[in-house]
Amino acid sequence: MHLITLAYSGTLRDSMKHFFESKRFQTIITIIIIVNSILIGLETSEVIMIKYGSVIDLIDLVILVLFSLEIILKIFVYKLSFFKDPWNIFDFTVIGISLVPAAGSFSIFRALRIVRALRLLKSIPKLRLIIESLVMSLPSIGWIVVLLSIVFYVYSVIGVSLFGELYPEYFGNLGSAFFTLFQIMTLESWSSAIARPIMDGVPFTGVYFVTFILIATYTTLNIFIAIVVNTMNEVALQNLHEEEQHIKDFVSQENEKLKSQLNQIQRQLEKLNNRTQA
């Protein structure tokens, strides 16, 4: 496939590919991202905005154009294979989100421009590695999250049915019940603000909160354990395999000595045999 692309994309595309993958280009992009992130951060200060607002907005626009150009050129160069790398999709999404405020003027979209700073996660190799390993360990906890979701759903429905009318702030509908249960799972004010006031109104509700906490924390504990065991296991397995190899090497090397001695014996025997035959 590489040969085919070469054939009809010509020299320009090749040299651009070379440029995009050069260390120098990576460094420039990283610096631009950092500068851009700092500028967007400065915009949160009103004093600075009044003084330098227009300059910062201009630089921001230039950088956004540069980033957009980078993506467009990359798509031109790598074509559809551009979208095969999850990191490229990440870049594409981040720039896409940044382009929205250029069009509209909703403060929420303006706020989202800062997600461009997340491009650093891709540009700095060490961070990229950490992100990749964090994402990699997600599947091992996937089913526990499903389990936790079912527990959340069941407790939400019970919560809305029992406390929904009296405490709409916490259990008005499934959405607020989910949020409340998330708060309870983090143990934040679960008793002083939620459980105790409700227990005054509805008897025997202590059971609801205590069982939820026990189940939720025990389950999240197991999410945690799953990750620890997974990570440790990989490291431990590697160590074990190395040790295994060392022992094997040692055994075969020791046996090599025995073999050479046996060979000597065989030669001696052959000599003896030849002599007796003669």
Closer by beta carbon to a copy of itself, 28 or else 229: 229
Question: Please, is 116 exposed, middle or buried when counting C-beta atoms within 10 Å of its C-beta (0-12, 13-18, 19+)?
Answer: buried
DSSP string, 55-93: HHHHHHHHHHHHHHHHHHHHHHHHGGGGGGSHHHHHHHH
CB closer to a copy of itself, 1 vs 207: 207
Query: How many other CB atoms sit within 10 Å of the CB of residue 157?
Result: 13
Q: With CA atoms as reference, report the closest residue to 194 among 167, 155, 160.
A: 167
User: How many C-beta neighbours within 10 Å does residue 174 have?
Assistant: 15
100/193 with CB nearer a copy of itself: 193
- End-to-end C-alpha distance for the chain, whole angstroms: 71
Minimum distance from residue 84 beta carbon to a copy of itself (Å): 25
Minimum CB–partner distance for residue 147 and a copy of itself (Å): 6
Q: How far is the CB of 154 from a copy of itself (least distance, A)?
A: 5
Q: Between 12 and 247, name the residue whose CB sits nearer to a copy of itself.
A: 247
Q: Could you tell me the smallest distance in angstroms from the CB atom of residue 63 to a copy of itself?
A: 15
Choice between 78 and 119, CB closer to a copy of itself: 119
- Shortest CB 217 distance to a copy of itself, Å: 8
Q: At which residue do the structure tokens 């000597």 appear?
A: 264
